[in-house]
């Protein structure tokens, strides 16, 4: 698996998991059961699941008015969008690709 494919797979899976946790947390809220901690949801957003979180927030109408969660999630989205935009810069993109290559080599030999 190429480093770029590995990164895409990681992001796709993490966003699906985050989306699913937003559904799960909404169901728990409806049925008054144990909830997923906000810190867990925000950590998943920070490490790459922000797009799944924003999608889940909109689809399930979950945590749309809860502050400071909403502001934190929006700030993480801005951070991710800025990172994606920075990938358009050749020097930055080369450094990111080098990190991905080194990480893939360390993980898979």
Query: Which range of residues forms the domain containing residue 48?
Result: 3-108
11-45 confidence digits (pLDDT tens): 999 999 999 999 999 999 999 999 999 999 999 99
Q: Around Cβ 33, how many Cβ atoms within 10 Å?
A: 10
Per-residue pLDDT at 95 exceeds 80: yes
The number of domains in the chain is 1
Cα–Cα distance between 34 and 46 in angstroms, integer? 23
Contacts of 103 (CB under 8 A, 6+ apart): 3, 6
Q: What is the pTM of this model?
A: 0.82
């Amino acid at each position: 698996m190429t480093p770029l494919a590995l990164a895409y797979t990681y992001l796709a899976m993490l966003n699906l998991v985050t989306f699913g946790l937003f559904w799960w947390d909404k169901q728990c809220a409806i049925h008054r059961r144990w909830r997923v901690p906000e810190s867990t949801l925000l950590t998943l957003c920070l490490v790459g699941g922000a797009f799944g979180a924003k999608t889940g927030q909109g689809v399930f109408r979950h945590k749309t008015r809860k502050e400071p969660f909403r502001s934190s999630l929006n700030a993480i989205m801005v951070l991710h969008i800025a990172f994606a935009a920075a990938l358009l810069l050749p020097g930055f993109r080369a450094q990111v690709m080098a990190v991905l290559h080194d990480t893939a080599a360390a993980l898979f030999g």
